[in-house]
Amino acid sequence: MDKLPLLEKKAYLTVVVKDNAIWTHLAYVDYSDEVQYLLSDYTDISHLKRRLDDYLFMENFWREYFSLLEKIFGWQMFKSLDKDLNRLIPFKDENYGLSGVKVLVDDDQDFITNIFQSLSQFSHDITVRVMDTPHMRKLVGKFSESMGYKTLIYMDLDINSFEIYRVDRDTDDKKSDNKVPSNYRYSEISQQWSSEIGLIDSIKDRRLSAFLASDIDKANLQNSWANLILHPVDVLQDYNLKDILRSFTTVQLLSLLTDHKDKLTGLGESSTAIVIGGKIPKLLDKKTTLLSIIDGLELYGNFDVIWDSNSGILAYGISASQGVNSSDIVIGKNEIISGITKVTIPELKSKKAINKVIFSGSVKSQDFDTEKIIVLGDTFELIDIKNEKNKVVCEGKFENNVYIPSLSDGKISFVSSPKGIKYDKLLIDSRLRPIVYGTDRYKNKLKINKWLNAD
């Protein structure tokens, strides 16, 4: 029997352009040999953003970019017909040729028209699409279908733009081959700063001081923030600046919750996943990002967090969800999901549960001895789950001194598969509710240190 065309050996290149950065993923599959993988590259173009409207610069940009990409990946992609136009090399084998190229451009990306024009000048073989609301609705709808979640939101957290896309679906909704069923319920939230000056001035919000833990005066705070906005970085090593960004993120999410409470209710009550992408999670570590999101959106209950720090889900989330119905390539979801964090947020019934055992469980696998898990009340525990060759089973039970309505029997149990859907962390947030930050920065510092350095 002949193979389905999309199950034949092939290679596909997807480029994501957003927040003045380029994420590129080359997907290669050979199902006859059971081989599939992604080659990925990240390029920061923020230092060029004031030149993106320069026609001469954009004319040669993609030629230089793809030429460098061929060297990085060790993969031949394009051939020049003349100095102005390039053709895609048809795919023949690993490291030679591509089955297709797609460029996805965020609808908020600076100089989007020039990007489209320059790509057309470089090659007519490149498919260009805008990541607008219809595109993101299809992504969250199809991804929630394939992953089996009733509620899924994609949070795109960039410093100058907070965007949230949500889908709610009933389990009896029928799946469609291409389009997402219209009876799914969608909602979007967007908060953007139109200028760098406005974004710099946003740090003057009085609410920010309620969350700050760093001992920094007003002038240095504003200068540090302005430098981050005007001179973006990929890694934050300065403690004060990281604390400012954590506080800023919490305040902005709290504002979104206040203004759009109807669109952010019910998270964690049933089968829920939160996909987190954007620049902020790259600058903050996972635990700090989770702290900001949980406190900013006042989350509770039980849900999964899927990290999209390299925009792999933006690039191939729809394709991976559609399977053989994909229009470009069939790739497994495990190739684009680096790891899932299981989050459980119980409510202590009283202060008597503070520093008392509220959860006990275990992590089991054929690869290592059983590991016990003990969690005390009023802590913020992020537990690593080792994934080696075999499946890992994590299970446990909450004590009677906590209340968690999303778990009727008070038990959690999930399986992590290194070759399938992989859970790499478990977060149990047993802090006493409501969360109260200190009346001054010193008290905040004590609390933040306790929460972030608990494990």
Q: Which pLDDT tens digit goes with each residue over 350-399?
A: 999 999 999 999 999 999 999 999 999 999 999 999 998 999 999 999 99
Q: Are 136 and 112 in contact (CB under 8 A)?
A: no
Instruction: Residue 149: name the closest of 340, 285, 411, 426 by CA.
Output: 340
The percentage of residues in the chain with a pLDDT greater than 70, rounded to a whole number, is 93
Instruction: For 392-435, write each residue's pLDDT tens digit.
Output: 999 999 999 999 988 888 999 999 998 888 999 999 999 999 99
Specify the residue for token string 């510092």.
Answer: 445
Q: How far apart are CA 200 and CA 215, in angstroms?
A: 20
Per mean pLDDT, which range of 54-58, 74-78, 92-96, 105-109 is the poorest?
A: 54-58
Which among 133, 105, 138 has a CA at the least distance from the CA of 318? 138
d(CA 347, CA 430): 7
Q: Enumerate the H helices of 99-238 as residue ranges.
A: 112-122, 133-147, 196-201, 218-230
**Alpha helix (H) residue ranges in 50-192:** 55-73, 112-122, 133-147
The model's confidence at residue 2, banded by pLDDT at 50, 70 and 90, is very low
Residue whose pair of structure tokens reads 């029928």 in the numeric block: 174
CA distance 320 to 12: 13
Could you tell me the pLDDT band of residue 4, with boundaries at 50, 70 and 90? low
CA 388/CA 383 separation, integer angstroms? 16
Nearest to 20 by CA among 229, 184, 221: 229
Average pLDDT in the chain: 91
- Which pTM was predicted? 0.93
439 C-beta neighbours (distance < 10 Å), count: 9
Single-letter amino acid code for the residue at 444: N
Average pLDDT over residues 241-256: 97
What pLDDT score does 327 carry? 86
Following CA atoms 237, 18, 15, 137 in sequence, which dihedral angle do they give, to the nearest 10 degrees? Answer: 120
The more confidently predicted of residues 439 and 1 is 439
> What domains are defined for the chain?
5-131 (3.30.420), 135-452 (no CATH)
295's torsion region: left (phi>0), alpha (psi -120 to 50) or beta? Answer: alpha
- Residue pair 301/268 in contact (Cβ under 8 Å)? The answer is yes
pLDDT in tens, 7-65: 689 999 999 999 889 999 999 999 888 899 999 999 998 877 655 555 545 668 899 99
Q: Count the helices and strands in the chain (H runs, E runs).
A: 10, 21
Please tell me the predicted confidence (pLDDT) of residue 1.
38
Summarised one tens digit per residue, pLDDT across range 181-190 is 667 999 999 9
- Asked if residue 242 has pLDDT above 60, the reply is yes
